[in-house]
Amino acid sequence: MVRFPDTALPILEKRYLKKDSAGKPVESPAQMLERVADHVARADAVFGAGRSEIAKTRERFFKAMANLWFLPNSPTLMNAGRRLGQLAACFVLPVEDSMQSIFDTLRNTALIHKSGGGTGFSFSRIRPAGDTVSSTAGVSSGPLSFIEVYDVATETVKQGGTRRGANMAVLRVDHPDIEAFITAKNDTRRLNNFNLSVALTGRFLTALKNETGFDLVNPRTGKSVRSVSARRLFDLIVRSAWATGEPGIIFIDRINAANPTPALGEIEATNPCGEQPLLAYESCTLASINLAAMVTARGFSFARLKSCVQTLVHFLDNVIEVNRYPLPEIEEKTRLTRKIGIGVMGFADMLIKLNVAYDSSEALKWAERVMSFINKEGRLASARLARRRGNFPAFNGSVLEKTDCRFMRNATVTTIAPTGTISLLAGVSSGIEPIFAVVHQRRMLDDTIVEQVHPLFVRQLRKAKVYSRKIMDQVTQKGDLNDISGLPDSIKRLFRTAHDISPLWHVKIQAAFQKHTDNAVSKTVNFPADATIEDVARAFEQAADENCKGITIYRNGSRSRQVISRAAEKPESLRIAPRPRPERTFGMTERIKTGCGKLYVTINSDTEGICEVFAQMGKTGGCASSQIEAAGRLISLALRSGVKPEAIVRQLTGIRCPSPTWQNGTMVLSCPDAMAQVLKRAANTGDTPIPPAEGVCPECSSRLLHEEGCLICKRCGYSKCN
């Protein structure tokens, strides 16, 4: 029996199931898992397994996936046993300082994107802008110009109708063009197919600590071109991240200290979300264990987790065998190190089931306990596999050999990767993130959108014997647990969402998992809209102090408008004023029944988001009409001044007039309450056009959310990165 929740079925039909020429699914979810299990199990034949043994392997793979104990990365679910056959999600390609290398890599990037993969690059070897080009007696345009070329090329490549291209651009902090790179996405219209990360070196961190100068070095000559203040450069990174969420940072020397195969070269870049450092031409196959499913009536089952890890090491090593690689160089390098990445999802749900608050010392203990167990058992399983199949070919001379480990099939075994879409399939929280909300909007099989309350919340209410229709109505109406009357504080603490958790605790949880993860951890450190630049600086410094391998932050709403280009300007100096209304807006009108008659509410957007609300009563005039018009004008003024629709909705919701009424099972208390309901639906479902800078799902127009260092859509399952 396959245990996918009902809300997963539209996502499966749209993205994962085989379709006929008319686009209709021709397999069920169970048949999809059978297809994947069968294709991956066949790799056993390469190592001498007979039919009965392969059949047992197939059944074991299928059972684990059908129980939603683990799911592989999306390319494996989509492509295993099908013509494309490309099963890996993560790739890193080299970019050398020559036109031939740059454009050969661009061609290879297009092939990888077409096959369903994401790509990472270091542009640090390219000479800086204005440097000499001896072959033409001209000057170089610098790495940023070529990143722009890659971005435009990515925009034109669609990945088989199921995935879009995702890229990571890395530049070392000592590159002469680093300032331009840091601020490149302050214009939110640029490089929308790229995540940017600055590679911070140990030398830079020392200079920052000592408040000294730091040399920028021309990669062509190896000579210093100028010295800058390390503190000023760090402040520039922090200000840009505060403004737009980018760039992120990776601690490149820390990553290379953990490089399991230093004889093969230095690691210079990661995959698009930063959790998978790779050598040039390497790929990595990933899968995630559902930690929520490891909790049984008796508590957390380490026996089940051990079985899952053992099965998953076997599964992922087989994926390396049966994968159809997009380039021969990638196949060669991947088989040389055979890196796999076991990650997790449903961590927040696991904590709730165990009655543990996310931002607590007990949660940190669980994070370390679970991940250390996975890493240890993963290495043991890889060693057992190596005894039968052999060590990975690059094992000799590796760091692993120096740790008295005589057998190892895979150079790495653990990675905390984004699970944006597969966690929706499993019906659990994403990766190691807190829950995003207590109430979610979900697309159902008949394409209707329904609001769903987190099932564990309902269970906790019943367990505490405080469940009531009144509480449920308040939660559904408000969307969060603040100011809900009759709700115990213990339950409010247990269901704190991503924006309720302080950045300090986001970093602490990430660091706890990083301690026991071979590769790195994909996570977003969320900040409230009113967070200061100093708050972001503290999080970056904390990530460095707690031995994270990188950090990605996002301040709520920071990409909703054009960012002021003067990097030195402080947030407290910004004055709130409405942006001008453009000549043309785009929108929708919804009719809603009120006690006074039918109200027609129009929601319009400009290029920066929802900008105005108009409302008109069908047959009325005088005071009622003027008050409705006044409310619309004030709402529009607030929207164009940067006030979030959610804040306006909270203020208007619940205003009551003498004549409330019902529409579609929902009570409409007054005209302002009706306007709030329409505005809430428009803001949450994306019914009005919002530009990419706001984070709009390209497939269902809902708002994208920042989780796990990526953009995901909770409504239809779209993910920019996986």
Q: Of 219, 236, 270, which residue constitutes the final position of a domain?
A: 270
Residue 598 has a pLDDT of 85
Candidate from 53-67, 463-477, 511-525 with smallest mean pLDDT = 463-477
Residues 473 and 595 in one domain: no
Structure tokens at 709: 């260092």
Residue numbers of the domain that contains 690: 586-694
Residues 488 and 608 in one domain: no
Residue 232 is assigned to a structural domain of this protein: yes
Residue 569 is assigned to a structural domain of this protein: no
Tell which phi-psi region holds residue 159, choosing left (phi > 0), alpha (psi between -120 and 50) or beta.
beta
Residues 605 and 474 in one domain: no
Residues 153 and 263 in one domain: yes
Residues 613 and 480 in one domain: no
Residue 536 is assigned to a structural domain of this protein: no
Choosing from 34, 195, 273, 713, the catalytic residue is: 273
Query: What is the count of structural domains for the chain?
Result: 3
Question: What does the alpha-carbon distance between residue 620 and residue 638 come to, in Å, rounded to a whole number?
Answer: 26
Choosing from 246, 268, 275, 282, the catalytic residue is: 275
Q: What is the DSSP string of 191-233?
A: -TTEEEEEEE-HHHHHHHHHT-EEEEE-TTT--EEEEEEHHHH
Question: What does the alpha-carbon distance between residue 447 and residue 450 come to, in Å, rounded to a whole number?
Answer: 9
User: Catalytic annotation on 273?
Assistant: yes
Choosing from 271, 290, 375, 391, the catalytic residue is: 271
Mean pLDDT calculated for residue range 695-704: 70
Going by C-alpha positions, the residue among 644, 643, 617, 638 that lies closest to residue 629 is 617
Structure tokens at 319: 């994926």
- In the chain, the amino acid numbered 704 is L
Residue 719 is assigned to a structural domain of this protein: no
Model confidence band, residue 532 (pLDDT cutoffs 50, 70, 90): very high
Where b means 16+ CB within 10 Å and e means fewer, 633-660 reads: eebbebbbebbbbeebbbebbeeebeee
Residues 102 and 246 in one domain: yes
Question: What does the alpha-carbon distance between residue 426 and residue 292 come to, in Å, rounded to a whole number?
Answer: 10
Does residue 571 surpass a pLDDT of 50? no
Does residue 689 surpass a pLDDT of 50? no
Model confidence band, residue 701 (pLDDT cutoffs 50, 70, 90): low
Q: Of 447, 478, 494, which residue constitutes the final position of a domain?
A: 494
Contacts of residue 254, Cβ cutoff 8 Å, sequence gap at least 6: 202, 547, 549
Residue 75 is assigned to a structural domain of this protein: no
Q: Is the peptide bond before 247 cis (omega within 30 degrees of 0)?
A: yes
Residue 168 is assigned to a structural domain of this protein: yes
**pLDDT tens digits, residue range 92-133?**
999 999 999 999 999 999 999 988 889 999 999 999 999 988
Residues 195 and 94 in one domain: yes
Residues 619 and 477 in one domain: no
Does residue 158 surpass a pLDDT of 60? no
The gap between the terminal CA atoms of the chain, to the nearest Å, is 26
Residue 268 has a pLDDT of 98
Residue 424 is assigned to a structural domain of this protein: no
Residue 692 has a pLDDT of 38
Mean pLDDT calculated for residue range 636-660: 84
Does residue 565 surpass a pLDDT of 50? no
Task: Give the Cβ contact number of residue 79 at 10 Å.
Answer: 24
Does residue 403 surpass a pLDDT of 60? no
Q: Which residue has the tokens 């910004």?
A: 574
CA angle, 505 as apex, 499 and 510 as ends, to 5°? 105
- Report the predicted TM-score, pTM, of the whole model to 2 decimal places: 0.82
What is residue 12's DSSP assignment?
Answer: I
Identify the residue with better confidence: 686 or 421.
Answer: 421
Residues 149 and 266 in one domain: yes
- DSSP reduced 3-state for 382: helix
Partnered with residue 120 across adjacent β-strands are 92, 168
**pLDDT tens digits, residue range 481-530?**
877 888 999 999 999 999 899 999 999 999 999 999 999 999 999 999 89
Residues 599 and 484 in one domain: no
Residue 152 is assigned to a structural domain of this protein: yes
Q: Of 466, 494, 522, which residue constitutes the final position of a domain?
A: 494
